[in-house]
Amino acid sequence: MSDVRSGTSAVEDSRFRLLIDAVIDYAIYMIDPDGIITSWNAGARRFKGYEEAEILGQHFSRFYTDEDRQAGLPQRALDTAIREGRFEGEGWRVRKDGTHFWCHVVIDPIRDASGTLLGFAKITRDLTDRKMAEEVLKQSEQQFRLLVQSVTDYAIYMLGPDGRLTNWNPGAQRIKGYRAEEVIGKHFSLFYTPEDREAGEPQRALETAKREGRFENKAWRLRKDGTRFMAHVVVDPIWGETGTLLGFAKITRDITEATEAQQALEKTREALFQAQKMQAIGQLSGGIAHDFNNLLTVILGNLEIVRKRVGDDSRITRLVDNATQGALRGVSLTQRMLAFARRQELKFESVEIPALVQGISGLLRSSLGPSVILDVRFPPGLVPVRADVNQLELAILNLVTNARDAMPDGGKIIIGATAQEVCDQPSLPAGAGQYVCLSVTDTGDGMDAATLASAMDPFFTTKGVGKGTGLGLSMVHGFLEQLGGQFILKSEKGKGTRAELWIPVATATSVDALATEEAEAPPVHQLCVLVVDDDNLVLTSTSLLLEDLGHRVVSAPSGAQALALFDAEPGIDLVITDMAMPQMNGAQLAQAIRIMNPSLPIILATGYAERLDGFALELPRLSKPFTQLNLVEIIASTMK
């Protein structure tokens, strides 16, 4: 019976050995109590590189690294197995060729029935691929962590599924002002404005990220100190391998400076567009006013001649006078258009503002009515300004009239002035220097922001159809620009309006020389006058007015023809030429005539203030539209 059992045991041992030898993914071998290798399977041969004949009888410590051997790790593993009944661990081991591999090791002690230690069973598994993958992942995570921690221009942090913060980078601390320990574990809605929290914006951001895979937005956020900053926010959901929501990745960038720069750029573009629009309208208005002045010159000139020739027929003279009044109203309109276009003829004088306002105060009060109180406040010793008296009076009348219209139920208008010094103030584009700020303030309805922004645009009016041209404020604006000052309008709805005229202070060199007292003009003798104008109607009208005065007229419709006539008519005593003509303008014609006859008097007739230079600045100017009396006066002063 014992032989049978012995045979069965031998068969089982043989089968067990075949099983062990068939395993190639694990190194399974026996070592004796001293650590000497006593068996070796195919798996050990495959990934450790030793044949059975090479390794049997060798100490198992040869698989350990030099460092581990010096540290006594092989013996410690056996001692642990003896003491605790098992040793398990991971570490680097060495193959026959000297290369290292990472392995998982299990060592079990083997004892007989009496408990005597017979040796150890050792199972080793090669985990190098897994270890390398872990190392790569660990290195990648470390690099990513270092990357995130080194970013200071972006707030990068994680949120749990419930929106609570789980980490915090230096960029988040720099932008939002919180340290990590102050915010980790708190809900990210802490950074939202109260109005956004009330509107449910934080939760909407997370729901959008979950539903659409991403949330992106620009909005105001709060720093720790309570200040606001414009943020560009991106929220991405983080999903696990099984589709479970693990949380959210949130990136926030402070774009306050970029936003402010963009807003400043848009304001600059808007201001440039406004300036270009005003310039274009100004050029259009100036051109229209120039052509209209030509027409008015013809109308007024012919009306004057008709008025002199109709005799005493009251019916006809009344019609002529009405037509003349209508033409004069047209003159007033063109003057406003030229003022807006900054092309009106200005006579710069030293003006005492208190005296000027006092001189028209009667007219002002009579136009206001009993329900409006006019209060004039000027400090003593106010310095004079450099301005055109007539245009400044007209500007004040315009502003007072506008103030009256803004107070239909009555109110108060205050006219005041203060001396001011400008030293490169950004809020006042006028150049540095001395100014007088003349103000007209009312207690009327005021204007909202939209109305105020358009108030100085030409032809803009709130008075209704037929109640205003819309040129009053734009005329004041153009007049002040032409003076070298500035017009500022301030108003709030329900709080009245304040109009400020910043006018340069007069100096000895900034005003025109005052004309000396002239003796009575000498009698007008018959002259031969060369009249030049490209507009045939103006040419004919001017010729008729001169002939009516007893002068002989030679006319030419262009500069070239005028030069030809000048050669053919040696007896010309005076030249009156239009300024704005094609091919050769009045200044160029005058220059050519002066070369041929330096002493010949020349008068420039113009519908608006052109930019002249050289000797043309010294020539007498006849402003269109002109009357026969204007012709008499300028001829007398020129021919003296």
What CATH number does residue 584 fall under? 3.40.50.2300
Shared domain for 107 and 205, answered yes or no, is: no
Confidence band of 1 (pLDDT split at 50, 70, 90) = very low
Q: What is the pLDDT of residue 545?
A: 86
Report d(CA 443, CA 408) in Å as an integer: 11
Shared domain for 368 and 497, answered yes or no, is: yes
Neighbours of 600 (CB within 10 A): 15
> Where does 127-203 show beta strands of DSSP type E?
154-159
φ, ψ at 410 (rounded to 5°): 95, 165
* C-alpha closest to that of 487 among 502, 504, 498: 502
Task: Give Dmax over CA atoms of the chain in angstroms.
Answer: 172
φ, ψ at 534 (rounded to 5°): -80, -10
Shared domain for 409 and 317, answered yes or no, is: no
Q: Give the 3-state secondary structure of residue 178.
A: coil
List, for residues 345-366, the tens digit of each pLDDT value. 566 788 899 998 888 887 788 7
Residue 475 lies in a domain: yes
0.75 cut: is pTM over it? no
Strand partners, 154: 253
- CATH number for the domain spanning 372: value is 3.30.565.10
The answer to whether residue 456 scores a pLDDT higher than 60 is yes
- CATH number for the domain spanning 296: value is 1.10.287
Report d(CA 511, CA 347) in Å as an integer: 8
Picking from 290, 321, 340, the residue at the C-terminal end of a domain is: 340
Report d(CA 328, CA 322) in Å as an integer: 10
The pair of three-digit structure tokens given for residue 363, joined into one six-digit string: 């007219």
φ, ψ at 430 (rounded to 5°): -60, 145
- The residue behind tokens 């693990």 is 246
Q: What is the pLDDT of residue 2?
A: 47
φ, ψ at 506 (rounded to 5°): -75, 140
Residue 517 lies in a domain: no
Picking from 455, 472, 504, the residue at the C-terminal end of a domain is: 504
524, HSE (Cβ side, Cα atoms, 13 Å): 21
The answer to whether residue 148 scores a pLDDT higher than 80 is no
Shared domain for 47 and 156, answered yes or no, is: no
Choice among 92-96, 180-184, 316-320, 606-610 with the minimum mean pLDDT: 606-610
Which carries the bigger pLDDT value, residue 149 or residue 261?
261
Shared domain for 375 and 449, answered yes or no, is: yes
How many domains, the chain? 5
The mean predicted confidence, pLDDT, of the chain is 80
Residue 515 lies in a domain: no
Report d(CA 267, CA 275) in Å as an integer: 12
Q: Which of 74-88, 139-153, 578-592, 594-608 reaches the highest mean pLDDT? A: 74-88
Shared domain for 118 and 48, answered yes or no, is: yes
Q: What is the pLDDT of residue 453?
A: 74
Q: Give the 3-state secondary structure of residue 301.
A: helix
* C-alpha closest to that of 556 among 538, 625, 595, 615: 538
Shared domain for 250 and 268, answered yes or no, is: no
- CATH number for the domain spanning 201: value is 3.30.450.20
Residue 362 lies in a domain: yes
Confidence band of 284 (pLDDT split at 50, 70, 90) = low
Q: Mean pLDDT over residues 383-389, rounded?
A: 87
List, for residues 588-632, the tens digit of each pLDDT value. 898 898 888 888 999 988 765 555 656 677 788 888 778 888 888
Q: What is the pLDDT of residue 316?
A: 74
Q: What is the pLDDT of residue 511?
A: 55
Strands 411-422 and 433-442 come out as antiparallel
The answer to whether residue 258 scores a pLDDT higher than 60 is yes
Q: Which of 5-19, 318-332, 428-442 reaches the highest mean pLDDT? A: 428-442
**Which domain does 69 fall in, by range?**
11-127
Choice among 237-251, 270-284, 507-521 with the minimum mean pLDDT: 507-521
| Torsional class of 260: left (φ above 0), alpha (ψ -120 to 50), beta (otherwise) | alpha
Residue 146 lies in a domain: no
List, for residues 552-602, the tens digit of each pLDDT value. 999 999 989 989 888 888 789 999 998 888 889 888 898 898 888 888 999
Picking from 254, 273, 288, the residue at the C-terminal end of a domain is: 254
Q: Give the 3-state secondary structure of residue 217.
A: strand
Amino acid in the structure at residue 65: T
The answer to whether residue 460 scores a pLDDT higher than 60 is no
Shared domain for 562 and 500, answered yes or no, is: no
What torsion do the CA atoms of 123, 126, 132, 135 make, to the nearest 10 degrees? Answer: 0
Residue 53 lies in a domain: yes
Shared domain for 73 and 103, answered yes or no, is: yes
Residue 522 lies in a domain: no
Shared domain for 190 and 226, answered yes or no, is: yes
Residue 599 lies in a domain: yes
Shared domain for 23 and 123, answered yes or no, is: yes
| pLDDT > 70 fraction of the chain, expressed in percent and rounded | 77
List, for residues 418-446, the tens digit of each pLDDT value. 988 877 655 554 567 889 999 999 988 88
Shared domain for 315 and 353, answered yes or no, is: no
Helix axes 472-483, 389-405, angle to 10 degrees: 150
